[in-house]
Amino acid sequence: MSTTVTAVSADASVGHRRLVTFTLHGSTYGVSVEAVQEVLRGQMRTRIPLAPPGLAGLINLRGQVLTAIDLREQLGLPARSTDAGEPMLVVVRVAGEPVALLVDSIGAVVDVGAGQFEPPPDTLSGPSRELIRGAYKLEGELLLDLDVERAAAA
């Protein structure tokens, strides 16, 4: 719980990074491994009436109340179908506070280099334009670099 989190460099294109990957609506996203505190499954969520739709509820993480963020909502993706099973939770620390991100499934930890990075295409629009810093070109797929701070703050 007390792992110190180094701020994610805003200029993500520089240098070598290690990313925790997860999927949302068939795409693969990544966040810096330093920002990730833990990954959880099947947490009971308490919904928050009147709250903005991106706030998917509150969860109890060992006595701490965490806000859960629905990334699909934040990225403007279609809502999770009910038969898709329980979403996974990626607990990240944003400005020192833990926040839980709802994702479809968890993938591997991937090492990426600056050479693989490209900024988002100009055709990318909508809410995700703000939240995706760019893409790492992996073999056979693109790994989208998620701006955690913005995704959690929206």
Partner 1 sequence: MDEMDEIVQEFLVESHENLDQLDRDLVALEQQPDSRDLLASIFRTIHTIKGTSGFLAFGQLESVTHVGENLLARLRDGKMRMTPETTDVLLAMVDTVRELLAAIEADGTEGDVDVTSVVARVTAVLEGRAPAAPVEAVVDPVLDPAVDLPVTSAEVAEESREPVEPEPAVAEPVALEDVAPELPPAVPAPAPVAAAEVREPEVVETVEPVESVDAAGPQDAAEGKTKRNLAESSIRVDVDLLDSLMRLVGELVLTRNQIVRQAGEQAGGELNGAAQRLNLIATELQEGVMKTRMQPMDHLWAKLPRVVRDLGAICGKKVSLDMFGRETELDRSLLESVKDPLTHLVRNAVDHGLESPEQRRAAGKPEEGLLTLRAYHEGGQVVVEVSDDGAGIDPARVAAKAVERGLRTQGQIDAMTQGDLLQLIFLPGFSTAAAVTNVSGRGVGMDVVRTNIEAIGGTIEVESVLGRGTTCRLRIPLTLAIVPALTVECSGDRYAIPQVSLLELVALDADRAAAEVEDVNGAPVYRLRGDLLPLVNLAEVLHVESERSDGHVLIAVLQAEGRRFGLVIDRVLSTEEIVVKPLTTRLKAVGAFSGATILGDGRVALILDVQSLARNALSQEALEHGATGRESTVESTLASEQVSMLIAGIGGGRRVAIPLSSVTRLEQVPTSSVEVVGSREVVQYRGSILPLLRLDSHLGAMSERHGEDLAMVVYTAGGRSVAIVVDEIVDIVDEDTRSRSDIDDHGLLGSTLIRDRIVEVLDVRSAILAADPRFFVDADEADPYEAQLEGAL
**Closest distance of CB 131 from partner 1, Å:** 17
Q: Which helix (H) or strand (E) holds 73?
A: helix 71-75
Among 14, 15, 60, 108, contact with partner 1 (rule: CB under 8 A): 60
Q: Shortest distance, CB of residue 91 to partner 1, whole angstroms? A: 15
Query: Which range in 23-31, 57-65, 83-91, 103-111 contacts partner 1 by CB under 8 A?
Result: 57-65
State the Cα–Cα distance between residues 127 and 135, nearest whole angstrom.
16
**β-strands 27-32, 141-146: how paired?**
parallel
Query: What CA–CA distances, in Å, run from 41 to 4, 88, 106, 110?
Result: 23, 5, 10, 21
Residue among 91 and 143 whose Cβ is closer to partner 1: 91
Stretch of residues binding partner 1 (CB under 8 A), selected from 12-20, 52-60, 81-89, 142-150: 52-60
- Residue 35 · residue 69 · CB < 8 Å: no
Please give the residues from 97 up to 126 whose contact with partner 1 meets the rule CB under 8 A.
97
User: Are the C-beta atoms of residues 147 and 154 closer than 8 Å to each other?
Assistant: no
Q: Is 50 in the site for partner 1 (CB under 8 A)?
A: yes
Contacting positions for partner 1 (CB under 8 A): 44-52, 55, 57-60, 63-65, 67, 97
